[in-house]
Structure 1
């Protein structure tokens, strides 16, 4: 009985920590210096130099070690906080804030909108590199707007919904583990000569841990469509029709739902590292996004993030309540 009661207290502390972490991200955003994710990336980069071989086996070892070390460390601290709700809430809040990037993502979207409104194409091209790995050197305003809307949609899942999902499901160690996997994918998960084999494991694990969150993002985007003068019916139809057409098993879910919610057409030809990739159209027949749609995409992402936070905290509290009833 005491174990279940303790678990209930721990879950309530987790819910409180999630809320505090979300508020910290909203108020402070990402720290400019000494961000834990940046420090992790530096450490993982040094680990890569030691372990690198152009083989899947070495890439899998790299992914296991680079993910396992922070997960084990945070899980150990979390265990020390057992029975101390304030400590557990604080650890969850810190881990959640570390993993979230919603405020910084929205700020980058706003900065892009300002640059496009002012006609500063060169500045907008530079700003796009803060959002995605796409080559912006030849992009004009309509394509810059499309790239921004697509990046905001995809990163709303990666930087907001997925961290909240894993924080709710697995606590501090879960959310830190997710952020480690996502960071490794950004570092080595490319189909380049260097990472074709070495980065395979990191990319596949990232696909797996985002399977559910990306679809949750799609659903929440449908629900939030009226916030940006869209309709849930159109967002649902485009999501269900086009979400599986994207080469990524997850990005298409977010982008298709956003295309339907905003009433724009996404997809087309993108350039990465000198190589062109063609993406099927999502929201076919709708106009390409413009700068006004960039601002609407920022608003949509913020709304999806707020709803995801509420759902995550509520889900944890409901689990705690069910456990409490089971004891009684």
Structure 2
């Protein structure tokens, strides 16, 4: 479960104490830079070689969904492809990643790969217009990026990218669990759509996290194959704990148990979200840093008091929740709010 989902009882109790209006502001908020002109790239979408026209139409449509999402959420988007250009897309991608690596930010970079992938038994590649890029090469390119990094490889044969890209402060999603799942992958369609779906917002915070989008996309892809009476040829994975293994939908959703001492992925992925509404509150970088620190305190409290009476956790968490609420209503204080009857 995501961080907010895990603490829903705690949040419900806190809302009664600090005022419904103030608390609602906390739940519906998202972040954006104060200075739009100097804002770094938030989302980099790369549309690879289509091969056939029908695939090209689909890939372009998925990229259009990302464009619409970023416009609505006030995220700075750059799309590479799908048109054929004199400069190979591989060179464009490498150059852009190099420029991004020089930017230090507490805000994540979303890297979305749309298209086809290949696997020859040794190397997994993302098919581009011009020369392809391998998982190993992409891993080398992103090594210098200092920001949190969220990568969704929505291609066939993408599973091995987890082994190459997994790392600290990174969330890696792949459309397939291995390189041998070589058929056309539809995961990218459903993953893009999830960030515009209220149904994907499992914890009802008016945002869709990367974890929630992963779960929604997996469920929708599975439904497609069932409705078509076809055997599913893609099984997505999510990795965010740097173990280079990845977790399936069932593990992330909590419907299966990990073998041995393996840690289930999803905690870090739950911390990065895109709003599904149009009335989100914007935070500065300084406020975002404070928010992250406060939410880290909440996670620590959850761990420390997991076996205690829920009332103990509510009491310990209340001061932190009040400070969080102040971020989204700085001109108000709990004393100014009338507690809902």
Normalising by structure 2, what TM-score? 0.26
Higher relative contact order (CA 8 A, sep 6+): 1
TM-score, normalization: structure 1?
A: 0.27
The structure with the largest strand share of the pair is: 2
